[in-house]
Amino acid sequence: MQSYKKVFFQNKHQTAMSSLNASFHQNISIVHPEYFFIIGLSGIPYSSYYYIFLFIVYFITMIGNSVVLLIIALERSLHSPKYFGVFNLALSDLGETNALIPNMMKTLLFDSRYISYNACLVNMFFVFLFSSMQSFTLVVLAYDRLIAICLPLRYHSLVNNTTMICILSAVWAFNSSVVGLMVFFINQLSFCESIVIQSYFCDHGPVYRLACNDSSINKMFAFLISALYNVVPMILIVLSYMGIFLALIKITTWQGRLKALKTCVSHLLLVGIYFLPICFSYIAAVLLFLTPNTRVISTSLAYAIPPMLNPIIYVLNTAEIKDIIRKMFKNRLENMSN
C-alpha cells in the first residue's frame, strides 16, 4: 500500500511539474500550481505518536481558552482593560491553534499532503495573523502593567475600556494589512521548479523559496515579519519592564514592591513561554544545522505549546479568575445537592 501511494504521489508530482513547465515556456508571466505538497515529517518511525500528542495539545488548548473567553465575557467584574487584553490573547490562541493543528493532523496523520494553491495562501494568512496578534497583545498587556505601576493615579484616564478597544482594533487592522501584503506578494511569484514545501504548513519562507522569478520583495517581507513580530515586541516589553523596575525601586517597602510585582507575574510567564521557544528556534537555525524533521518538530512545538499554557497560567496566577471559577463550582455543587 505504501509503495502504491509513493508511486501515485510521484506520478502526480511529475504531472504537476510538467504542466507548470509547459505554462512557463509559453511565456505566461505568472505561473501558479494547482496545489502544493507539504512534506512534514519524513522517515521517522512512530511519528503518528507525535501527531496524537499534538491532538491532545489541541484539545487542552481549545478547552482552556474557551473557558477563559466565557468567564471574561460573562463576568461583568472582568470587563476591564487588562482582561480585554487577556480576552484578545485567548482569541488569538484559539485562532492560531485552529489554523495550524487540524490542518497539520489532516496533512500528516492522514497522508493528505496535497493542499490547493488558494487554500495554502489562506492557511499562511491566518497562521501568521493570529501569531502576530499573540505577539502584539503581549506588548499591549505590558503597556497596561507599565501604566498601572508607574502612573497609578492616571491609570483610569490613560487606560480605560474605550482606549483598550481602540488599541486592539488598531492592532488587528495593522496586522491584517501587513500579513495580507505578505500573502499578496506570494501571489506575484511563479512556481515552475518544485511544489514541495519543506515544512508542516504553508510557511512563508519555504513557499517563496520555491519561486523561479524574482523573490527579493518576499525575502524583504520575511525579514520584516521576523523583526516586526519577534524582535520589536521583545524590545518594547523589555523597555516596559525597565520602567516598571525603576518605579518599584522608588517604593519604600518590600511589601509594596512585592505586591506590585505580583501583578506582573502572569504576564512575565506568558512572555517567556511565547518568546523563548521562538528565540531558541532562531538561534538553533543560525548556529546549528537543523534537519528538516528537527525544524518541523521545534517550530511546531513553539507554535502549539504557548496557546495551551496561556489559559492555565492565567487561571492559576490570577486571583479574580480563580475566585470566579471557585464560585461557579460551589454554585454548581449546591444546585446538584438541592
pLDDT digits (tens, 9 = 90+) for 110-152: 767 888 999 999 999 999 999 999 999 999 999 999 999 998 8
pLDDT at 241 over 90: yes
pLDDT, position 266: 85
pTM: 0.86
Span 167-176, pLDDT tens digits: 999 999 999 9
Q: Is the domain covering 2-337 a CATH 1.10.357.10 domain? A: no
Q: Are 173 and 129 in contact (CB under 8 A)?
A: no
What letters, b where the CB count within 10 A reaches 16 and e where it falls short, cover 84-109? bbbbbbbbbbbbbbbbbbebbbebbb
Residue pointed to by grid coordinates 506570494: 186
Span 32-85, pLDDT tens digits: 899 899 887 777 777 778 888 888 999 999 999 998 999 899 888 888 999 999
Closest CA to 181 of 217, 127, 229: 217
* Mean pLDDT rounded to a whole number for the chain: 84
- Measure the CA–CA gap between 170 and 86, rounded to whole angstroms: 16
